[in-house]
Structure 1
Amino acid sequence: MNRIETDICIIGAGSGGLSIAAGAVQMGARVVLIEGGEMGGDCLNAGCIPSKALIAAAKAAQAMRDGAKFGITPSEPQVDFGAVKDHVAKVIETIAPVDSQERFEGLGVQVIRAWARFTGPDEVEAGGQVIKARRFVVATGSRPFVPPIPGVDTVPYLTNETIFALRDRPDHLLVIGGGPIGMEMAQAHRRLGCKVTVIEGAKAFGRDDPEMAAVVLANLRAEGVEILEDAPVTALSGRAGAITVTLQDGRAVQGSHLLMAVGRKVHLEGLNLDAAGIKHDRKGVTVGPDLRSTNRRVYAVGDAAGGLQFTHVAGYHAGIVIRQIVLGLPAKATTRHIPWVTYTDPELAQVGLTEAEARKAHGAALTVLRQEFHHNDRAQAEGKAQGLLKVMVVKGRPIGVSIAGPVAGELIGLWAFAIASRAKISAIAGMVAPYPTLGEISKRAAGAYFSPKLFDNPMLKRVVRLVQRVLP
Structure 2
Amino acid sequence: MNILHTDIAIIGAGTAGLAAYRAAKAAGKTALLIEGGPYGTTCARVGCMPSKLLIAAAEAAYDMRHAAAFGIHIDGDIRIDGREVMNRVRRERDRFVGFVLKGVENIPEEDRLRGYARFIDNQTLAVDDHTTVKARRIVIATGSSPAIPVHFQTLGDRLIVNDDVFNWETLPRRVAVFGPGVIGLELGQALSRLDVTTRVFGRGGGIGPFSDPIIRDYARTVFQGQFYLDPDVKIDTLQREGDEVVITYRNLQGEKITEHFDYVLAATGRQPNVDGLDLQNAGIELDQSGVPLFDAATLQCGQSTIFIAGDANNILPLLHEAADEGKTAGENAARYPHVKPGLRRAPIAVVFSDPQLAMVGKRHADLPPRSFVTGVVSFEDQGRSRVMLKNKGLMHIYADLETGRFLGAEWMGPRAENIAHLLAWAYQQELTINQMLDMPFYHPVVEEGLRTALRDAAAKLIA
How high is the TM-score relative to the length of structure 2? 0.89
The answer as to whether partners of 2:346 and 2:428 remain within 8 angstroms in 1 is: yes
**Structure 1 residues 164 and 27, CA gap change in structure 2 (3 angstroms):** same
Give the alignment of 1:56-455 within 5 angstroms: 56-74=56-74, 76-100=77-101, 102-108=102-108, 110-127=111-128, 128-149=130-151, 152-153=154-155, 156-205=158-207, 207-208=209-210, 209-223=212-226, 225-233=227-235, 235-239=237-241, 241-247=243-249, 252-280=258-286, 281-282=288-289, 284-289=291-296, 290-294=298-302, 296-326=304-334, 330-332=339-341, 337-358=346-367, 361=368, 363-394=369-400, 395-451=403-459
1:391 Cα offset (Å): 1.0
Opposite residue 284 of structure 2, the aligned amino acid is I
Mapped partners of 1:382, 1:256: distance in 2: 36
3-state DSSP class of the match of 2:312? helix
Opposite residue 326 of structure 2, the aligned amino acid is A
Aligned length: 450
Opposite residue 313 of structure 2, the aligned amino acid is A
Q: Deviation digits for residues 71-102 of structure 1, max 9, x if unmatched? A: 111564311112111211222222223321x5
Moved more, 325-334 or 142-151: 325-334
**Structure 1 residues 341 and 284, CA gap change in structure 2 (3 angstroms):** farther
Bigger relative contact order (CA 8 A; separation at least 6)? 2
Mapped partners of 1:453, 1:339: distance in 2: 24
1:173 Cα offset (Å): 0.9
How high is the TM-score relative to the length of structure 1? 0.87
The answer as to whether partners of 2:404 and 2:461 remain within 8 angstroms in 1 is: no
Q: In angstroms, what is the RMSD of aligned CA positions?
A: 2.6
Moved more, 405-414 or 91-100: 91-100
Mapped partners of 1:346, 1:206: distance in 2: 12
Q: Deviation digits for residues 324-347 of structure 1, max 9, x if unmatched? A: 234566433697831112111011
3-state DSSP class of the match of 1:374? coil
The answer as to whether partners of 2:373 and 2:461 remain within 8 angstroms in 1 is: no
**Structure 1 residues 306 and 451, CA gap change in structure 2 (3 angstroms):** closer
The answer as to whether partners of 2:274 and 2:290 remain within 8 angstroms in 1 is: no
3-state DSSP class of the match of 1:19? helix
What's 2:53 paired with?
53
Mapped partners of 2:341, 2:362: distance in 1: 20
What's 1:23 paired with?
23
1:155 Cα offset (Å): 6.1
Moved more, 125-134 or 176-185: 125-134
Structure 1 spans left out of the alignment, 5+ residues: 457-472
1:433 Cα offset (Å): 2.6
Q: Deviation digits for residues 308-339 of structure 1, max 9, x if unmatched? A: 32223212312332442345664336978311
Mapped partners of 2:89, 2:152: distance in 1: 33
**Structure 1 residues 452 and 261, CA gap change in structure 2 (3 angstroms):** closer
Structure 2 spans left out of the alignment, 5+ residues: none
1:283 Cα offset (Å): 6.8
3-state DSSP class of the match of 1:293? coil
3-state DSSP class of the match of 2:441? coil
3-state DSSP class of the match of 2:158? coil
**Structure 1 residues 211 and 132, CA gap change in structure 2 (3 angstroms):** same
**Structure 1 residues 19 and 370, CA gap change in structure 2 (3 angstroms):** same
3-state DSSP class of the match of 1:258? strand
**Structure 1 residues 284 and 232, CA gap change in structure 2 (3 angstroms):** farther
Mapped partners of 2:460, 2:121: distance in 1: 64
Mapped partners of 1:210, 1:336: distance in 2: 26
